[in-house]
Structure 1
């Protein structure tokens, strides 16, 4: 699969609402269709990463307790050489790890800690073209597979608690500024 040439739409087709961007296609006769945005009242952790070089073929570095410096590249199936990591891999790793932590916390809160002690979470993240023709470029789809925890209520609670699940389900505040 080769990526298609993206067609950039002018900003006039977008509506700024709050600190996010909504495409004009969300307007209907009754007004703007609203999607909730999860806002933070404080933060308990801050992470910073910087990307440099030729976009998805460049380099990314995170800062903090355990800095990470990676060479990035598009997957071979998306037109790259595949000789580096890609954002989808990193997203899948973060989502799987976060969901596992949420699963174990949900089990502990339900006094069923042993149900999730040996659980395993796999996150599949798909990069592809959006089905909706008005959206250019790529989109993501995520699938979470939980092994070793048979309790559906605990899995559902983990999905409600996991910050990755919340961001995908409820949206997240995104602020873009120029330095």
Structure 2
């Protein structure tokens, strides 16, 4: 079995956020892989700054991480019925690099939110944001982790059997999509 490289992108900057935990749990359930988290703590996109100084090195690094990963997992919280500004800003910045690192890239999307819908609206909007990049976004199973602050044990593992089963199925689908390349 191949050892794949997975990149996780969390729409939350907090190290202990449920979205970070969800990405780590997804990588664990994926199985043997090299897993890294991308840094989305980027300057706000400003076309004038880009014209003066170019694309920042931290954005170039993120774009290179996306390009070299075998697949990308994105987990977003839901803020005001959409993905976080942090995530949208990162997507806007990466769109400014010379080559599109997303093109044809297998991508698994998930969400974790405190509300009862688990970020369902944010995930739907995020899927729309990805269209111009032309990645291979998996259609499911969909992971909308509701009441996210009460879904992990002290070791950071999901406790709900349904969530565990669905996340494992999503990771198997991601593995299958990688192998199709």
TM-score by length of 1: 0.23
Which one has the largest radius of gyration? 1
Higher relative contact order (CA 8 A, sep 6+): 2
Q: In proportion to residue count, which structure has more strand?
A: 1
